Amino acid sequence: TKPSLETTHYVKTHFKNLGLETHTVPFKTLLSYPLRASVSLHFDNGTVINLPLNEIGISSYAPSGLVQPYHAYSPSGTTQGDAVFVNNGTEDDYRALEVMGVNVSGCIVIVKKGGSLSRGAAVQIAEKKGALGVLMYAEGDVSRGSFGFGVERGTVMRGVGDPLTPGWAGVEDGERLELEDNKILDRFPGIPSLPLPFESAQVILESLGGPEAPQKWRDSSRSKLSRVGPGQVMVNFTYQGEKKLATIHDVFAVIRGSVERDRYVLLGNHRDAWTYGAVDPNSGTAALLDIARRYALLMRKGWNPRRTIIFCSWDAEEFGMIGSTEWVEQNLVNLGAKAVAYLNVDCAVQGPGFFAGATPQLDDLIFEVTKKVKDPDSDVATIYDKWTTMNRISYVRRHGVHLSKC
């Protein structure tokens, strides 16, 4: 898209103006875009309610090009059925419904996004249970004034990287699988899904009949949840999207090492965002660009790193880490032999305090560095001090286990 190309140019120009060795690597990949969507509720008395799907109340400053809420790689479709609330949509949640005598086959399931279950996995489980479609919402902390009509966009594709080039880089004239290939179809859901604003999901939840929701579900929900369905309301759900090949651009800046030039330390973050991306990824991009600026200042004073540093600005991360995956696939042998570590600054700033996630090999380094860096909110404390004070322990989260995507 035009905004994506503008960010590519911005980052590339910033690196070049610092005097850094800069280059861009394009890939041709399959991306997914929304065309139109609608959700309506149909009651036994003939009442019909069309639910709002977009953010409400931000039109005064929202650009006309703001992408409508959608799930990337959701199939197009129109479906109608009873609504059933399935909590987070885990296997345990469906078992709880079965105990209550609730069968979701032929229904539209309402999923509250939460826990460790990804969007794609939640849709996959719903499809396996016979659901016709999935409507998903995130609550946020509405009790503290969070925006009830905010919508969490995301991807429902299984796996990472360009779906048409699994295991190899999606270069311009390279080999690609056909979209109808079973290997490709297996990565996409077979039923449509759509994200909802919390306020719109609330309208559905308040209308449900059927058995009472388990107390545990009600206690963990900020909505006015009473029953799980089915009954009293029928949902009509339409989504139409398109999948098309598009060129994405990764941007790199390189500082050559003075001793181990063939050993790489990579610092990266993605540029693309579903909407404004204030935290994800722009706080990370700001950090990445300023770190590069500070290194450039040191180089002007004669400093050079021992090992080569590569700054990586990835494209199409939100679709399924596509930009980074394609570049790694293109450079797999070289990276396997020469890469020392990768440091990710996605969502660099998100609220007070400090947290870190890493593989175990970097734990000691994180402790050492945080003990040397001053806490900007204190005259005497370090980042390590704040970290241990807020958490009562210096705890490094494990990627893929405790560290959730923001």
Shortest CA distance to 309 belongs to which of 324, 327, 294, 330? 294
Shortest CA distance to 111 belongs to which of 122, 97, 127, 102? 122
- Cα 339 to Cα 288: distance, rounded to the nearest angstrom: 19
Please give the structure tokens belonging to residue 87. Answer: 């909590």
Residue 160: C-alpha distances to residues 170, 258, 322, 324, 328 (Å):
13, 35, 6, 9, 12
Helix (H, G, I), strand (E, B) or coil at 102: coil
The secondary structure element, H or E, covering residue 125 is helix 119-128
- Cα 195 to Cα 69: distance, rounded to the nearest angstrom: 6
Please give the structure tokens belonging to residue 164. Answer: 């048409």
Residue 273: C-alpha distances to residues 262, 357, 385 (Å):
33, 22, 33
Residue 90: C-alpha distances to residues 78, 129, 174, 403 (Å):
24, 11, 39, 19
Catalytic residue among 21, 127, 260, 317: 317
Helix segments in 267-396, DSSP class H: 282-300, 322-330, 332-338, 363-370, 383-391
Asked if 230 and 83 touch (Cβ cutoff 8 Å), the reply is: yes
Residue 256's CB: how many other CB atoms inside 10 A? 13
Give Cβ neighbours of residue 349 (< 8 Å, ≥ 6 apart). 279, 283, 286, 287
- Cα 127 to Cα 123: distance, rounded to the nearest angstrom: 6
Shortest CA distance to 238 belongs to which of 323, 114, 132? 132
Residues in the chain: 406
**What residue has token string 């109608």?**
80
- Cα 139 to Cα 347: distance, rounded to the nearest angstrom: 20
Is 260 a residue of the active site?
no
Asked if 48 and 42 touch (Cβ cutoff 8 Å), the reply is: yes
- Active-site amino acid positions: 317
